Structure 1
Amino acid sequence: MSMTHYNTEIPGASHWSLRVRKGVQMRLTDINGGANVGMLFYNPENLLERYNAPDTLKGQHTFKLSKGNCLYSDMGRVFASIVEDSLGWHETVCGNSNAEQVKARWGQRDYQHDRNDWHQNGYDAFLVELAKYGLGRADMAANLNLFSKIATDDDGNMTLDGQHSKPGSEVVLRFEMDTLVLLHTCPHPLNNAASYPYTPVQIDLTPADPVDDDDYCRNFRPENQRGFMNNALYHLGK
C-alpha cells in the first residue's frame, strides 16, 4: 500500500465512513457474492447538502444505476460518477433494513453479547456513522444499495434478485467533489435469506484519471453535462 493507494476489507454487518477528495476513485469489490453496500453522500463543507435519490433517477431517466450514471446532490451537483461496473444494475429506491425487520427474519443479536456474529441493520449502522459528524435521524437520506438488483411483478411488488452479484463483481466511483462517504454492509431490506447474510466488500482508493471533454459519464446524459457545469461553478467559488 502506497501513499496514493489505500485498501481495506469491510466485513459483513459493518459500517464505515471517510471524507473522500475530489479526483479519487473508489473501487468496491464483492468478495464472496451476494453483497449489499448501503451508501450515503454529504458535502463535508456543508452537511445540509446530501445525496438525492429522486433527482439522480429522474434527471437521468432511469430506475437503475450503472456505468455512466452520476450520483447527484440536492443542489444539482455531482458527488460521484460510476466509471466502471460489472453488474449493470444497482438500486436506490428500497432504503435500509431496520432493527424490527432483522429481528423478525433472523433473530436479535447484539454486539455486546455476540460480537462479530451480531445482526446489525442498515438504519442503525448509518446512525452510528452520522453521529461521528454531528448528524442524526433528521439527516438520513434515501440511500444507494450497490450490488443489489430488484424485480417487480405486474402488481408492483418488489423482490430482491439474490443471485445478481457474483464473487468478484465490481463497481468504481470517481468523486467529482470532496464528499463525506458513509456506507454499511448490512442486508438489503428485501433480503429473505434463510440465515443472516454476512457479505464483506473490498475497498480500493486510488487517484482517478482526469476528466476531459469526451468523458463517458459527463456525456452519458445531457443532464450530466449540466451537473458537471454546476460542479465547475462550485469549485470556482470556493
Structure 2
Amino acid sequence: MPEAPSYNGFVWKELIPAGAHWSGVIRRGTVLRMTDLQGGANVSMLINNLEVKNERYNMPDTLKAQKTAFLTTPNMCFSDMGRVMCSVIADTCGWHDTIGGLSNANMLQKKYGTKTYQEAHNDYFKNGHDSLINELEKWGLNESDIMPNLNWFSKVRVEDDGSMTFVENNSAAGDYVDLRFEMDCIVSLSTAQHPMDPSPEYNPKPVELSVYKAMKVEQDDPCRLHRGENERAYYNTKVFYGENPND
C-alpha cells in the first residue's frame, strides 16, 4: 500500500460501527479520510451544501463531465449547481460505485429476514435508505432529498449487455479514500451493506473517519486539471465564496 499523503494537521477521528449511520459538517479546506477497517466495507454517502441545503451531489453531472461511471483519483464530486463539493485526492481502493443505489427495508427482509430493535437492540438489521433518512432529518431534510448516492469501497461493473455485476472483495482491510472538501457540506453516511452484495448473511463492516487540514490547492492540482469541467466547477465554487478564482 502506498504511503499516506501528508496534510497540515489532524482534526478528529471517529469509528462508524458496522450497519450504522452518521452525519456531520465537513468544512472546506479539510480532508475526510474513510478507512475500511476489515475489508469489504460499503459507505453510502449523500452530500448537501451547508448554506444552501437543496444544493447537493449530482451523480449525472459528476459522471458525464468526467466521462466515467465510477470514482477514484483525480475525480471531483459536482453539485447540481455546477460547483465542486469535494475532490478525490488519494485512493488505495481504485473503484467506488456511483450507480448501485441504496438498500431498503423490503430488500433486506427478502435477503436476510427480520431482526428488529426490540429483538436485537443496536444489532438490528439496518438498511441504507432508512439510515440516511434518519440522518437527513437532523438537518431539516427528508426523503425527497435522497438523490442517487455514492457507495465508497464498492464496485459495480456494467457488462456489455447492460447488466450490472457486483464485484466482491473490491476493498481490502486498511484501504482508504481521501476527500478534500471544497465547500462546507453536510455529509450523511450509512455503513449498511451494498444493495447488490450477494452475501447470504447480514454482515456490514465498520469504517473509520478521520479529518485533516488540507494543503493549499495549487494551480497544478491534479483534480483541477483532470478535465476542463473540473476547473470550471472549481472556479464556480471559489466565486460562490467570494474569493479570487485565480488563487
Aligned to 1:155: 161
- Alignment of 1:57 with 2:87, yes or no, is no
Matched position secondary structure for 2:224:
coil
Aligned to 1:41: 47
Aligned counterpart in structure 1 of residue 218 of structure 2, from 209, 212, 217: 212
State the distance in 2 between where 1:140 and 1:152 align: 23
How many matched pairs?
235
Shifted more, 154-163 versus 204-213: the winner is 154-163
Q: Please, which runs of 5 or more residues in structure 2 have no aligned partner?
A: 1-8
Q: Which amino acid aligns with 1:69?
A: N
Aligned to 2:197: 191
Aligned to 2:187: 181
Aligned counterpart in structure 1 of residue 19 of structure 2, from 5, 10, 13: 13
- Alignment of 1:75 with 2:76, yes or no, is no
Q: Deviations over 1:179-214 (max 9, x none)?
A: 110011001010110211220001100101110101
Aligned to 1:103: 109
- Alignment of 1:200 with 2:206, yes or no, is yes
Shift of 1:117: 2.1
**Deviation beyond 4 Å, 4+ runs, structure 1:** none
Q: Please, which runs of 5 or more residues in structure 1 have no aligned partner?
A: none
Q: Deviations over 1:78-133 (max 9, x none)?
A: 11000000121111111100001111001111223212321100000000001101
Q: Deviations over 1:21-51 (max 9, x none)?
A: 1101011100000000000100111111011
State the distance in 2 between where 1:236 and 1:154 align: 46
* Mapped contact 2:135–2:188 kept (Cα < 8 A): yes
Aligned counterpart in structure 1 of residue 133 of structure 2, from 127, 133, 141: 127
C-alpha root-mean-square deviation of aligned residues, in Å?
A: 1.2
Matched position secondary structure for 2:102:
coil
Equivalent positions of 1:218-233 (< 5 A) are: 218-233=224-239
Matched position secondary structure for 1:217:
helix
State the distance in 1 between where 2:155 and 2:108 align: 19
Aligned-residue identity in percent: 43
Equivalent positions of 1:132-143 (< 5 A) are: 132-143=138-149
- Alignment of 1:23 with 2:29, yes or no, is yes
Aligned to 2:5: none
Shift of 1:4: 4.5
Shift of 1:140: 1.0
State the distance in 2 between where 1:198 and 1:164 align: 14
State the distance in 1 between where 2:181 and 2:29 align: 6
Q: Which amino acid aligns with 1:109?
A: K
